[in-house]
Amino acid sequence: MMHPARQAYVEETEDTDMGGISYADLPTDQDYDMPTTPGGIPTERASAILSQFERKRRAAAMVVPTDDTRVRSRLRELGEPITLFGEGPSERRDRLRELLTDMAEQQGGVEIEMEEAEEEGEQQEEFFTEGGNELLEARKDIARYSLPRAKARVARLKDESTITLRTHIKHRKAVKEKLQGFDLYGSQIAGDRPVSICRFAPDGQTIAAGNWSGGIKLLSVPNLEEKASFKAHTDRVGGLSWFPGATLPSSNVSPSTVNLISGGGEGNLNLWALDQEKPLATLTGHSGRVCRTEFHPSGRYAASASFDSSWRLWDVETATELLLQEGHSREVYTVAFNNDGSLVASGGFDSIGRIWDLRTGRNVMILDGHIREIYGMDWGVDGHRVLSGSGDGWVKCWDLRQMKETGGIGAHKSVVSDLRWYKGVESASFLPSTDGGMDIDGAPPAADKAAEAPSPKKSGTFFVSSGFDKSVNIFSADDWSLVKSLSGHSGNVLSTDISDDAKWIASCGHDRTVKLWGIE
């Protein structure tokens, strides 16, 4: 028997009814009111805060333009002030987002319609530009011209593929050493306003320079003396290009025929002879400023890039427009043909580059990688690589065979305004001379061709670029390294070019001068 001291203590309580309470006996309060949430916030205010959070979430999901110009245009369409006192681009964009959110709340279904429109815009649709019989014949002519050249280029590249790696490395090293010798040789004022573009003649003895006053000056090399002057356009000169073979003694291009094409801010293109002060013909059609012009390698056609968001193809012999090519969403600034004449590259203010096949009219590649406007493009001698220079300070290399970007250079601290890939004289080879300079020699005699092994070419080994950091830079085209930076301009450099013999580099810019750089 357990001792009483070890027994558990149990408090004595009165008996209670453990049956619980019935549902019918529960009290009912119809006027219950909870004035605050558990956190102490009034319910009305809590609901308002939740509604505000939901509204901000919807506003953040609202799609608005990132371009400030388009934001202003949208505000103007809504009848709102395009800017408020002290308001910046980001605040203006937030205000547009708030306005669109208010409209979506006031009109049910607007947001759904916007989503549907966005989905429709994402669907890729093939677009064809109509053309006449003249364009069809031009495409056939370009195909007949380009295919044999492409075949010869491929054969040449196959021969060069047999060159040993050691020979290539030695060759590239020699090229870099010679390029480091470039220095300022001369400078000449070429206008009352900034000089927008400069281009060497095929013989390398003349520089054509266009300025913002609408004038064109022809300067001699190397003295930079004025040889001729044209009042070319009523607005700034944007494009200049020499006719293939012009000024060369071995060509059949005379000074009385077309030697030069120019494009102006008024939207016209002019064809020039060297012995006349007035243009041989004026090509009209663009509704915006013409930024760049280029001759097709055959010389029969020319292309122009314009602020009307198009580039156009012209028949030089008949002075007529063959093609109005759309495809860019904003202004088109630059256009360039490859050496075969089969492809053309275009780029502009939409930050997108496009490659077009002139034989079919199709867009064969989109160059999407820059975050700012594209101001310059040029092709390599291999026919499948193209360079693009942008306002983001980068130069990018694109390979059509790999269909992707294969190289990128932070070329300048600011805008890359122009670039030129050295092409040289066809079939010319690089041979170190006895005095350490760079020589351009033609093809060897036919009797010695079979015995001699192919030698590396200097063409395609480097390119030059100009920028708003007041410099002209020389880059190697194999490892994309900076060989030398040329400083001498007191303002932004707008354009640059290389002579076909690689002895001279020209540049021009905001300081109203054309500068000539040569190897010491």
Q: For residue 204, what are the contacts with CB-CB under 8 A and spacing of at least 6? A: 221, 499, 500, 501, 503, 504
**pLDDT for residue 446:** 44
Is the pLDDT at 24 greater than 70? The verdict is no
Q: Do residues 375 and 417 lie in contact, with contact meaning Cβ atoms separated by under 8 Å?
A: yes
pLDDT tens sequence across 263-287: 999 999 999 999 999 999 999 999 9
Chain CA centroid to CA 63, Å: 26
Domain ranges across the chain: 51-104, 163-431+455-518
CATH of domain 163-431+455-518: 2.130.10.10
pLDDT cut 70: percent of the chain above it: 80
pLDDT tens sequence across 149-168: 999 999 999 998 899 999 99
Is the pLDDT at 320 greater than 50? The verdict is yes
- Omega of the bond leading into 194 within 30 degrees of 0 (cis): no
Report which residue type is found at 168: H
Across the chain, mean pLDDT equals 85
**pLDDT for residue 87:** 87
Q: For residue 357, what are the contacts with CB-CB under 8 A and spacing of at least 6? A: 342, 343, 364
| Selection from 332, 285, 286, 336 nearest residue 309 by Cα | 332
State the residue for tokens 């294969």.
406
When mean pLDDT is compared across 56-70, 167-181, 339-353, 378-392, the lowest value belongs to: 56-70
Segment holding 515, helix H or strand E: strand 513-519
**pLDDT for residue 119:** 42
| Selection from 119, 184, 173, 185 nearest residue 462 by Cα | 173
Radius of gyration of the chain (CA): 34
Assign 504 a pLDDT band (cuts: 50, 70, 90): very high
pLDDT tens sequence across 179-233: 999 999 999 999 999 999 999 999 999 999 999 999 999 999 999 999 999 999 9
Residues forming beta bridges with residue 431, ordered by sequence position: 439
**pLDDT for residue 440:** 43
Distance between CA atoms of residues 245 and 33, nearest Å: 94
Assign 68 a pLDDT band (cuts: 50, 70, 90): confident
Q: Do residues 425 and 398 lie in contact, with contact meaning Cβ atoms separated by under 8 Å?
A: no
When mean pLDDT is compared across 127-136, 146-155, 329-338, the lowest value belongs to: 127-136
